[in-house]
Chain A
Amino acid sequence: MNLWIMAAITFREAARKRILWTALIAGAGFLVVFGIGLHFQMADFSPSTPPFVRYEILSGMLMVGLYTVDLLAVVMTILTSVDTLAGEITSGTIQAIATKPMPRWQILLGKWLGFVGMLAIYVVLMLGGTIAVAGSVAGMTPQRPVEGAALVFFECVIALSICFLFGTWFSTLTNGVIVLGLHGLAFMGGWLEQMSGFTEGSRLSMVGIVASLAMPTEAVWRRAAFRMESPLAGSLPQFAIFSDYSLPSPQMLVYAAVYLLIALAVAIVHFNQRDL
Chain B
Amino acid sequence: MTDFAVETRNLRKLYGSKVAVRNLSLTVPRGQIFGFLGPNGAGKSTSIRMLLGLAEPSGGSAFVLGKPSGDVAVRRKIGFLPEDFRFYEWLTAAELLRLHGRLSGVPSRDLQKRVPALIDLVGLTPHRDKRLENFSKGMLQRIGLAQALIHEPELIFLDEPTSGLDPMGRRLVRDIIRSQRDRGATVFLNSHLLSEIEITCDQVVFIREGEVVTSRDLRSPQETAAHVLVRARNLTQAMVDGLAPWSASAIFDSDQLTFTVSSRDVLPDILRHLVGSGAEIFEFTPQRMSLEELFVSVMGRDEGL
Contact = CB atoms under 8 A, between A and B. Distances in A.
B248 interface: no
Contacts of B100: 96, 100
A183 B147 CA distance: 40
Interface in A63-113: 91-93, 95-103
A99 B87 CA distance: 13
Contact of A93 (B72, B88, B99, B104): B88
B284 interface: no
A96 B105 CA distance: 15
Contacts of B72: 101-103
Contacts of A96: 80, 82, 85-87, 100, 144, 147
B54 interface: yes
A96 B158 CA distance: 12
A276 to B, nearest CB: 5
Interface residues of A, number: 21
A101 B74 CA distance: 7
A99 B73 contact: no
A99 B69 CA distance: 11
Contacts of A13: 88, 90
A92 B84 contact: yes
Contacts of A276: 49, 54-55
Given A99-B52, A101-B75, A275-B49, A92 B103 contact: no
Contacts of B76: 101
B219 interface: no
Contact of B82 (A16, A95, A101, A273): A95
Nearest to B84: A92
A2 interface: yes
A5 interface: yes
Contact of A9 (B54, B78, B86, B88): B88
Given A9-B88, A17-B90, A95 B80 contact: yes
Nearest to B86: A93
A273 to B, nearest CB: 7
Nearest to A97: B103
Nearest to A274: B56
Contact of B75 (A17, A91, A92, A100): A100
B53 interface: yes
Contact of B53 (A9, A91, A93, A99): A99
B54 A5 contact: no
A2 B75 CA distance: 13
A51 B256 CA distance: 115
Contacts of B80: 95-96, 99
Contacts of B88: 9, 13, 93
Given A96-B80, A99-B54, A101-B75, A16 B90 contact: yes
A100 B103 contact: yes
Contacts of A92: 82, 84, 86
A261 to B, nearest CB: 24
A88 to B, nearest CB: 9
A9 B55 CA distance: 25
A95 B90 contact: no
Nearest to A98: B54
B9 interface: no
B233 interface: no
A103 B103 CA distance: 11
Interface of B: 49, 52-56, 72-76, 78, 80, 82, 84-88, 90-91, 99-100, 102-105, 144, 147
Given A95-B49, A96-B80, 7 more contacts: A5-B103, A9-B88, A16-B90, A92-B84, A99-B52, A101-B72, A101-B74
Interface of A: 2, 5, 9, 13, 16-17, 91-93, 95-103, 273, 275-276
25 contacts: A5-B102, A5-B103, A13-B88, A16-B90, A93-B87, A95-B54, A96-B86, A96-B144, A98-B53, A99-B52, A99-B53, A99-B75, A99-B78, A100-B103, A101-B73, A101-B75, A101-B103, A101-B104, A101-B105, A102-B72, A273-B56, A275-B49, A276-B49, A276-B54, A276-B55
